Amino acid sequence: MDRFQESINEYITFKQNIKVASSQMLRMMSKMEIEMISKDILSFLSKKYKLDYLPEEKKICEILEQTFSNSIIRSEFEMNKFLQTIDNNYDNLTSKQVISTIEDELKKLKETVKNIYDVKTTSCYSDFARRCTEDITRELRSLNQTEEFENNIIKMKMQLKKELSGVLQKFLDGAYKMINTQIVMKMQKQIELLKNSQ
């Protein structure tokens, strides 16, 4: 097998691995991290609002874990759907056509990965913040049935959603950086090897 074909095979392997790695990075949000986020949310609520009662930390963790799990499933679906669009056969292409096709694939892949890990550009995780906000607010309402709570609920939802989005984006930034370093940059290297092996 010549070096050109070896580089193509390496590229294909990385392309296949990104499907698994992208979800693994997201699933690395451990129980400890969920608990830390729950503590941050409870601290935020107690400082910002005069509430008679706050949900137990365990309840906030349950809400975050369930909703985050659903978000991962959605992001996996988005990634799988995209990867099907770049599932090309390179066998009958010239060297230049292979390189051009792969460069185009990688450009689209970079955009897709970046979008999946950004709460502003994907419904997968903006939905996480929205759903968690609704569920946490519902829990708060059941514990604080007061006029003051009802008067503040719209403002509270907006601030809680912003807080959740910010906390989540920090995690997603770390996951994106790992995916970009461990796979996307290595795929780019294979393209350079392809060009040099002609």
Kindly report, residue by residue over 10-21, the tens digit of the pLDDT: 888 888 888 777
The answer to whether residue 30 scores a pLDDT higher than 70 is no
CA gyration radius, the chain:
22
Least confident among 74-83, 128-137, 156-165: 74-83
* Amino acid type, 45: L
The structure's pTM equals 0.76
Instruction: Taking residues 186-198, report their average pLDDT.
Output: 86
pLDDT at 1 (0 to 100): 56
The answer to whether residue 66 scores a pLDDT higher than 70 is yes
Domain ranges of the chain: 3-84+93-196
pLDDT at 29 (0 to 100): 65
Give the tens place of pLDDT for each residue, 155-166. Answer: 999 999 998 888
CA triple 85-90-93, angle to 5 deg:
120
The answer to whether residue 152 scores a pLDDT higher than 80 is yes
Alpha carbon distance 133, 183 (integer Å):
34
The answer to whether residue 100 scores a pLDDT higher than 90 is yes
Mean residue pLDDT of the chain comes to 86
